[in-house]
Amino acid sequence: MSKKNHYPKGGETHQTAKMGQSALTSNLGAPVSDNQNSLTSGARGPVLLEDFLLREKIFHFDHERIPERIVHARGSAAHGFFELYESLSDVTTADLFQRAGERTPVFTRFSTVAGGAGSVDTPRDVRGFAVKFYTQKGNWDLVGNNIPVFFIQDAIKFPDLIHAVKMEADCGYPQAASAHDTFWDFISLMPESTHMIMWAMSDRAIPRSLRMMEGFGVHTFRFINAKGKSTFVKFHWKPKLGLQSTVWDEAVKLQAADNDYHRRDLFESIEQGDFPEWELGLQLFDQKLADSLPYDVLDPTKLIPEEKVPLRMVGRMVLNRNPDNFFAETEQVAYCPGNIVPGIDFTNDPLLQGRLFSYLDTQKSRLGTANFHQIPINAPKCPFANFQRDGMMQTLVPAGRANYEPNSLGEADEEPGPRECPVSGFSSFPGRAENEEQGEKLRLRPESFADHYSQARMFFESQTENEQAHIASALVFELSKVMLEHVPPRVVANLRNVSEELAKRVAGGLNIALPKKAPAAASLQQLDPSPALSIQKNMKAILKGRCVGILIADGSDAVMLSRLKKAIQKSGATVKLVAPKIGGARLSDGNVMKAHGQLAGAPSQLFDAVAVLLSSKAVGMLIKESAAVEWVANAFAHLKAIGHNAEAQPLLERANVVPDAGVTGLDGAFVEAAAMRFFDREPNIRDLA
């Protein structure tokens, strides 16, 4: 195939071996001609099983961590059921979708992606959202995330993505974080990641609770009905409690306050009978509609706005039982996108096609070794070089941090590693498949995948001004951690294709000159904003499922406290009492009220709203107590409602709390305010990019 037709092009970076540079090879020494694209039958056809380079690369990658999962290692899960609202027999024969009212048992696991099993719950990260349906016709696994799109278009780039975001190869840090060199180096070289970066830098990546985030199947799947008719389907989980996120400063402090914040929240809510619940929504459409869209429905970096294809709400999932044993259930559960039942089928989404192999291989082989090729009898006698690393029985000692590709570490005077060899590397014979419509076998991405920026712009323009500021500030924070000087300008150059304003804000925050706009591989489109993509536009003003902290001390008004607790609990929220001492406080009626937490050990970031109910004498002491001042100051900084009695006013003043709509008395106004965050406050308390 001629090079002029080879995609990537335009804004993509294509690196090849130079004279004297080592060649990228397989584990057995065969030179690699193309490390960017899987071997497919036609541009939009299925990935072929004969692609031994894809299989070897992902096979080795799947075995790099023992015994925990390579990604999604830290997870929390629960049992429950799925209840169907209405029969879907018109579009699918899948058994669980036939009989209205029928309940199907499920086991659902939520997870972070980048961190290890021992990391924390609250970093900025994508969250896994995997549901195993135990249907009467077999198990169906809907394995997705809390974000509807993904970083890459082809599974062959998945090892590179994860290598880049994980701890850096030479130093072993940072853990569970994307704010470092190698991640942003990779992202800056992969324009197709731009849409996902908008989501990852938004508040979607720092959820308030696992119970308050959406779930998505990410890919386009197929439903097949009794007549053999195919209907495209995308899966959405909508939380009954609505979307909620933290703010960045709060998420950082939560890591110190409670490493298990999300896990504990999920476990305790189920233990208390406050069962998390989601509705399952489907986007159903045919080939005609798919062809009419200005993007490819097989492209996992794209979504279909709900305004374009509305959701059909077909059932609900309720999680009502915690695991009996964490290891036996949560750790050992094995999800695989290839676990489907009759009536559900795959599409030729290249990322999905790669997952069909990868997940089964991972779960079957979490113990054992992928380094058998290093045993002398198996070892090649010619040089070999690639970016596959680690694993059991590793006998080599790779130097440096270049363990992903593309990379630009050569620009930082580091060894960038081997490169593919288009001329001398292995190339498949381009024979045509039996189905003539599929075309030749080739490594090629369709031109319809080439637009990497339009939906990223749509996502950014769909956010509120406050959410846009959060995205800009998140980009500034993360890129400020990047020590490779050439990487941040490259990221900003990509951002200019998303929003000139965003690019200028990020460049200004980094104090760098605005770089030239990165070339785009396809013409950009002006897509209509989608309000469904905004957290703040979709937040529910309800207190149910949330937690309110009340600060008390000796002398607190007993009658007022009782009245406040009843009002909060009537709204469906939990009340936690915090006092200077864990033993509690002696109230105005002489009775001792035991506290749930001690002031220094129960910071306000553990609560969705706070109330301060103190006597004048107690305030006189607490305004000298830094933990008390910080308790109030952090709640204000985290945009939460603060209710207080008149006697507590000096403490609020010491904490620099400025009156606004979220600062109320302890009457009904506080209960109403406690259900919301007050984003209008934010520009007055912190600098956002």
Q: So which residues are the catalytic ones?
A: 72, 145
Sign of CA dihedral 594, 599, 600, 605: positive
Residue written as token pair 């080592």: 22
Distance separating alpha carbons of residues 375 and 369, to the nearest angstrom:
11
Q: CB atoms < 10 A from the CB of 272, how many? A: 9
Residue written as token pair 């009775």: 591
Closest CA to 131 of 113, 148, 149, 106: 106
- Residue 216 identity: F
Distance separating alpha carbons of residues 372 and 79, to the nearest angstrom:
38
- Residue 572, helix vs strand vs coil: coil
Closest CA to 673 of 655, 681, 274, 470: 681
Closest CA to 53 of 157, 152, 169, 150: 157
- Residue 239 identity: P
CB within 8 Å of 35: residues ≥ 6 apart: 24, 53, 156, 405, 420
| Pairing label, strands 221-224, 344-345 | antiparallel
Sign of CA dihedral 390, 327, 274, 318: positive
CB within 8 Å of 235: residues ≥ 6 apart: 142, 144, 215, 216, 217, 221, 280, 281, 282
> Which residues does residue 130 pair with via DSSP β-bridges, in sequence order?
109, 143
556 close to 588: Cβ distance less than 8 angstroms: yes
Distance separating alpha carbons of residues 162 and 165, to the nearest angstrom:
5
Distance separating alpha carbons of residues 374 and 372, to the nearest angstrom:
5
DSSP character at residue 12: -
553 close to 580: Cβ distance less than 8 angstroms: yes
| Pairing label, strands 609-612, 642-644 | parallel
